[in-house]
Structure 1
Amino acid sequence: MAAASAEITRSGDLRVVELTAGTWPLFERLLGPTGLQGGCWCAFFRMPGRQFRAAGAADRKAHVHDAVRAGKPLGLLGILDDEPVAWVAVSPRLDNPRLATSRVAASSDGDAAGVWAVTCFYVHRRARGRGLASRMLAAATRQAFARGARVVEGYPVEAKEKRAAGELYHGTVDMFAAAGFDLVARRDTRRALMRIPAP
């Protein structure tokens, strides 16, 4: 299934496209009928906590789909051999109200204007072990800066010990560091706030 959108970048055999109304079918295909993680549909950060908890999977999917149809940036899809295999959520921090109430994601300077957030990664099991998350992070950072971000930040997990794939959807500290992000603060023994300024 080819993506109905202009390619953003290519990294070796990985083609990266933005999630748009035209590529929405690829997003549905990648996340599958359940929308991952109990029907999240990558709405967790985009909806206030109470609203997210009250919504079912169908409402969360509709919320995200409405944002896509409105032209809001939500993230990027990674395509291999015309099949969607990877996702990274990257969008303005202000479009993610859950971040405003998160202890881990508390802003380091109090000014969210111009800050973009990388909140979630997903790589399909058939494509894991190929470094796709790192390539998606690089593409997300470039895309955010191209859209005018002054800073891109993430909230990765410390992965010195082996963790299940389901625990790594924030990305890892080492992965963000390798992409040029600076460690701003450790928020507990497992999570960190990391940032990279616009070049």
Structure 2
Amino acid sequence: MSGEGKAGDAPSGPLTVRLLDEGTWPAFARLVEANNGVWGGCWCMGFHVRLGKGRTAGQNRAEKEQLVREGATHAALVLDGDDCVGWCQFGSPAELPHIKSRRAYEKDLTALPDWRVTCFFTGKGQRGRGVARTALGGALAEIARKGGGTVEGYPEETDDRSVSGSFLHTGPMAVFENHGFTRTRPISPHRWVVTLTVAPA
């Protein structure tokens, strides 16, 4: 989920990548809490479950933390020192069943991928540092470590349009293409399915 949230002081040290787990949960949670739960309380649960009326930010937070404890959610966190400045979420279709533009996606679906890259978030003041690019690289490295396979993303093609950050939560096209993804098919006027085959590490 590309965003505009506070992530600490001005850019300083080199960026590193760590996976979301019980040890990195506090850093992840600090960034989310500094941003109203991300998009009004999603807590990066929108691709795990169908969000709707009746669900609260507190419920999303609790369920996300439970998934982290169970090892049932995956994200590459980008850190500046001890501060999380952004992330990229990835996982299997079983973990992340609720993608955007589902009807158009399923219309020409022939086979599910092994992995999905569903969303990105970058903290306010951190843009221009390559946070999304670094996060996607970390996700792909972990996918390779876990055996590789076909990876799908669902980025927004900005072209020459000025696009709100809320539309870029699935990632900008350039970040995916810079990592070697190719466009497979459009699923909305500006959103594409992009794919990459990752070899096992």
TM-score by length of 2: 0.84
The 5 A counterparts of 1:16-95 are: 16-32=17-33, 34-49=36-51, 52-95=52-95
CA gap 1:100/1:135 in 2 versus in 1, 3 angstroms:
closer
- CA shift, 1:181, in A, is 0.5
Moved more, 187-196 or 101-110: 101-110
Does the 8 A contact of 1:104 with 1:193 survive in 2? no
Provide the aligned length of Structure 1 versus Structure 2.
185
Return the letter of the residue paired with 1:126.
G
Identical-residue share of aligned pairs (%): 29
1:102 maps to what in 2?
Answer: 102
Structure 2 unmatched ranges of 5 or more: 1-12
1:7 maps to what in 2?
Answer: none
For CA contacts below 8 A with separation 6 or more, give which structure has more relative contact order.
2
2:145 maps to what in 1?
Answer: 146
Does the 8 A contact of 1:105 with 1:155 survive in 2? no
Q: How big is each residue's C-alpha offset from its partner over 1:108-163, in whole Å with a ceiling of 9 and x where there is no partner?
A: 65433x61111111110121111211111111112112112411111000111121
- The secondary structure found in structure 2 opposite 1:64 is helix
Q: Distance in 1 between matches of 2:115 and 2:103?
A: 17
- The secondary structure found in structure 2 opposite 1:16 is strand
- CA shift, 1:54, in A, is 2.9
2:130 maps to what in 1?
Answer: 131
Does the 8 A contact of 1:154 with 1:195 survive in 2? yes
Does the 8 A contact of 2:87 with 2:131 survive in 1? no
- Compare the two structures and name the one with the higher helix fraction: 1
Structure 1 unmatched ranges of 5 or more: 1-11
CA gap 1:137/1:104 in 2 versus in 1, 3 angstroms:
farther
